[in-house]
């Protein structure tokens, strides 16, 4: 059985709650999902190249989208959309007010409109900003990375301090 996260991550569609089994989605959908997973892995993530360019951040940093990871109820309760950005000029000790401004800007001005364009609804958006591309879930001690969590409420990103 393919995981709901894998299907959502690589096709942009959320499978039925019962899971993405051969019986509920058919062999062709599973084959497409696996093909998309392979293509996305080689292209830097779930459709990063197909999305709009990232506008300049309030701090003046220039960022690019590394990948979008859609996690369907990994905690059994909420759906998460992870937007992973890279800004090569990010420093290890930034002005944190500017950094928070950049992260909020990325949520409200990039991630939220991107999600609004899809049929799927997500409860939380995680914005990460790093100085280099990293593999999700793999320790990268040389990388500088910042993360913030936002809930989506009334069409806006509301900060949920980690």
For residues 46 and 67, the answer to whether their CB atoms sit within 8 Å is yes
Question: Residues 56, 159, 144, 9: is their CA dihedral positive or negative?
Answer: negative
Residue 11 has pLDDT above 70, yes or no: no
Q: How far apart are CA 107 and CA 149, in angstroms?
A: 9
- At 162 the pLDDT is 62
User: Same structural domain for residues 120 and 73?
Assistant: yes
The domain in which residue 22 lies consists of: 4-42
Residue 80 has pLDDT above 60, yes or no: yes
User: Same structural domain for residues 15 and 80?
Assistant: no
Angle value at C-alpha 45, between 39 and 50, nearest 5 degrees: 80
Q: Model-level pTM greater than 0.75?
A: no
- At 50 the pLDDT is 77
Integer CA distances (angstroms), 28 to 14, 19, 41, 47, 123, in order: 16, 16, 20, 20, 29
User: Same structural domain for residues 60 and 18?
Assistant: no
- At 60 the pLDDT is 96
- At 51 the pLDDT is 85
What is the rounded average pLDDT of the residues 136-149? 95
Contacts of 21 (CB under 8 A, 6+ apart): 1, 2
Question: And the tokens for 150?
Answer: 């936002």
Greatest mean pLDDT range, 26-30, 42-46, 76-80: 76-80
* pLDDT tens-digit readout, 114-135: 998 876 788 999 999 999 999 9
Residue 97 has pLDDT above 70, yes or no: yes
The number of distinct structural domains making up the chain is 2
Helix axes 4-11, 22-42, angle to 10 degrees: 50
User: Same structural domain for residues 107 and 38?
Assistant: no
User: Same structural domain for residues 20 and 86?
Assistant: no
Contacts of 126 (CB under 8 A, 6+ apart): 80, 81, 82, 83, 147, 148, 149, 150
For the chain, what percent of residues have pLDDT higher than 90? 56
User: Same structural domain for residues 54 and 105?
Assistant: yes
What is the rounded average pLDDT of the residues 80-90? 97
User: Same structural domain for residues 64 and 138?
Assistant: yes
Residue 21 has pLDDT above 60, yes or no: no
């Amino acid at each position: 059985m393919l995981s709901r996260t894998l299907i959502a991550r690589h096709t942009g569609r959320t499978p039925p709650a019962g899971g993405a089994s051969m019986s509920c989605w058919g062999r062709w959908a599973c084959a497409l999902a696996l093909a998309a997973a392979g293509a996305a892995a080689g292209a830097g993530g779930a459709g990063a190249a197909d999305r709009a360019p990232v506008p300049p951040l309030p701090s003046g940093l220039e960022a690019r989208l590394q990948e979008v990871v859609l996690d369907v109820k990994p905690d059994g309760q909420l759906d998460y959309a992870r937007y992973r950005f890279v800004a090569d000029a990010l420093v290890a000790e930034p002005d944190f007010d500017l950094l928070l401004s950049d992260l909020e800007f990325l949520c409200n001005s990039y991630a939220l409109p991107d999600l609004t364009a899809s049929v799927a609804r997500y409860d939380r958006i995680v914005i990460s900003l790093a100085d280099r591309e990293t593999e999700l879930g793999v320790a990268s001690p040389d990388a500088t990375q910042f993360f913030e969590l936002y809930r989506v409420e009334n069409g806006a990103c509301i900060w949920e301090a980690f």
